[in-house]
């Protein structure tokens, strides 16, 4: 999973198995807020590989992925931004 990644810093994100909600890996475990997510250097990615695999096995999360950060430390791609902050449209 780490092979294709570009960039230097990442967040670890996933969806909760039960609710499907987007979560980020923080010091306190998986939380919905990206602000508190641990900033991971690319050299450490494999360490976090083990973390999410374990939590996938424990049926806590699914669909884990590393979210790339830009130079200013913000989430880089639009898709990941929308994943983090929700719909860009008004529903009703």
Partner 1 sequence: MYKYSNIDKKIIADRTKQFQNQVERRLNGKLTEEEFKPLRLMNGLYLQLHAYMLRVAIPYGELSSTQLRKLAFIADKFDRGYGHFTTRQNIQFNWPKLPEVPEILDQLSEVEMHAIQTSGNCIRNISSDHLAGLTAEEVEDPRPWCEIIRKWSTFHPEFSFLPRKFKIAVTGCLEDRTALLVHDIGLRLIKKNNVIGFEVFVGGGQGRTPHIAKMIRSFLSKKDLLNYLEAILTTYNQLGRRDNIYKARIKILVNELGVQKFKSLVEKNFVKFSNEKLKLDKNTINDIFNFFKLPKLKYSSNKLPISKNKKFNEWKQQNTLPHKISGYSIVLISLKPPGKPPGDADSRQMQELANISDDFSFGEIRVTHEQNLVLPHVNNTQIYQLWQQLDILKLATPNIGLISDTICCPGMDYCALATARSIPISQKIGNNFKKYFDQKSIGDIKIKISGCINACGHHHVGNIGILGLDRNGEEFYQITLGGSAKEDAAIGQIIGPSFSEKKLISAIRRIIKTYRKNKKNASEDFLSVFRRIGIEAFKKDLYDNTRKKN
Footprint of partner 1 on this chain (CB under 8 A)?
15, 17-22, 56-59, 62-63, 76-79, 82-83, 86-92
| Residue 75: DSSP 8-state | B
Given the complex with partner 1, which of 43 and 87 has the nearer CB atom? 87
Nearer to partner 1 by Cβ, of 19 and 35: the residue is 19
Distances from the Cα of 68 to the Cα of 17, 57, 91, angstroms: 22, 24, 28
Pairing state between β 9-16 and 29-31: unpaired
Nearest to partner 1 of 44, 70 (CB atom): 70
């Amino acid at each position: 999973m780490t092979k294709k990644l570009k960039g230097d810093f990442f967040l670890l994100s996933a969806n909760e198995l039960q609710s499907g909600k987007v979560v980020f890996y923080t010091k306190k475990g998986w939380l919905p807020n990206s602000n508190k997510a641990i900033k991971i250097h690319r050299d450490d990615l494999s360490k976090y590989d083990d973390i999410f695999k374990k939590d996938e096995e424990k049926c806590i999360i699914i669909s884990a992925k590393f979210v790339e950060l830009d130079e200013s430390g913000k989430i880089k791609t639009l898709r990941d931004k929308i994943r983090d902050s929700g719909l860009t449209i008004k529903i009703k």
